[in-house]
Structures are given as structure tokens and as C-alpha cells.
Amino acid sequence: MRFASAGRHCVRGEPPHHADPEAAEAARVLILCAARADGPTVTRLYEHGTAAERRAVLSALPQLPLGTDGRAGVPLIEDALRTNDTRLVAAAVGPYAARHLDAHAWRHAVLKCLFTGVSVDAVAGLAERSRGDAELARMLGDYARERTSAGRPVPDDLPRVLALTQMSPLSADVSAGPSVRSPSSSATGPSVRPSASCSSTGPSASSSTGPSFGPSSEEA
């Protein structure tokens, strides 16, 4: 089976035997791992691949030999985070991003999840990297105030992440946090509360509080 043709070979067992995208993605990941694909190989497959093939590349990154520092996949993660494809964004914030994205890029990846409606459950290492992060707390507070000022609901996941940022870095208990309020809020500033639903329309990509990733290679 070849990487690109996995989608044609992976079908559901029951009639009418439709394609099985999850099985195809798993097969592609196995192919990459078995071949011990290196940085140039995964870059080529990602750049010329379909969205499904790109997701498989992103999912395989933590298990591949990508050079001495392992950072050959970072440009692929950054490209995926510039898209508005929620499945690509979810794949991009997995264990590889938790291990290799710097603090600035990782914070914007979290904001990208909130902006696009991707559950923060997809963000690997969320509790560890968020805890005690005052800069992330500031960004979340700014984003919440921007949404509130525009009459839009605050994403349900935002208070959860904000609560993590307000915990001590040494605290092992992440199940209960302080009341969810932006640390930079004044007495007259809006409190950060979860909304009943998340608006499908977020702030513009040029917003100072939104993700700073530019256009992706597929959108350029």
C-alpha cells in the first residue's frame, strides 16, 4: 500500500463498503513510521498532500526521526495552524507541538483553537504548559473582552484554560481553579464566563489578540 493510495484501500467492512477515513489515516501513519520518514520526506508529502494526507503527516510527527533536534516538523505545524481547517488545526496541536513549539507560537495555537471552535481537549500538554502562564492569561482576557465588546459569546473552553493559567506551576491539582476572571480585568471590565454556544464567526485574523499565523501554503 502506498501513502497516497491508502484512502482507496481502506474501506468499511460492512456494505456498501464506504471509504474509512480513520483507517486510512492510521494506515498512513503506520507507513510513515515503518519507513522512518525523515524531515525532507514528510515535508514533501505534506506540501503535495490532500488535507487527509496532511493530517496523517501531522499525527505521525512525534514518532519520526526528524533530525538531531527533532524540529524539522515545526514549519508543517505552523502551516497547519494558519488554515481554518479544524481537523488540521486539531492534528497540529498534538504531542509534537507540545514538545517543540516555542511559548509564543504555542500560545497562539491555543488561541487558534478557541477562534476556530476546536476543543482544547485536542491540545496536548495543555495543563502543564498553561499553568502559571501570565502572558497566556493576558491574551485570553483580551480575547474575551474583544468578543464581549462585539456582542459575541465567549468560547466555552476559554474559562477552563484561563483557570489553568491562574494556578501555581507547582500545583498538581488542575481540577479546581480560582474563579474564572481575566487577571487584567478592572472592576468595570467584563468577567469571563462560558457562553451557551460558540459563534461561528470570530474576530478578524488581524486582531491583536487573535492567532498571528499568516496565510497557509494552500491558501496563499
What are the residue ranges spanned by the domains of the chain?
8-102, 125-201
Question: 209: how many CB neighbours lie within 10 A of its CB?
Answer: 18
CB 58 within 8 Å of CB 97: no
Query: For the chain, which ranges sit under pLDDT 70?
Result: 1, 5, 7-8, 17, 168-220
In Å, how far are 44, 111, 125 from 131, measured between CA atoms? Answer: 36, 15, 10
Distance CA 73, CA 39 (A): 7
Residue with cell 491540545: 123
Check residue 1 and give its pLDDT.
Answer: 60
Please list the residues that pair with 19 across neighbouring strands.
11
Check residue 169 and give its pLDDT.
Answer: 65
Check residue 15 and give its pLDDT.
Answer: 78
Check residue 208 and give its pLDDT.
Answer: 38
| Angle, helix 39-48 to helix 21-35, in steps of 10 degrees | 150
- Helix/strand number for the chain, H first, E second: 11, 0
Dmax over CA atoms of the chain, in Å, equals: 62
Residues in the chain: 220
Q: Grid coordinates in use for 124?
A: 496536548
Q: Grid coordinates in use for 179?
A: 474563579
Check residue 170 and give its pLDDT.
Answer: 56
Residues 6+ apart with CB under 8 A from 112: 81, 89, 118, 211, 213
Bin 125: left if φ > 0, else alpha if -120 < ψ < 50, else beta. left
Distance CA 7, CA 34 (A): 18
Distance CA 46, CA 36 (A): 15
Check residue 24 and give its pLDDT.
Answer: 85
Distance CA 84, CA 61 (A): 20
Check residue 49 and give its pLDDT.
Answer: 94
Check residue 216 and give its pLDDT.
Answer: 53
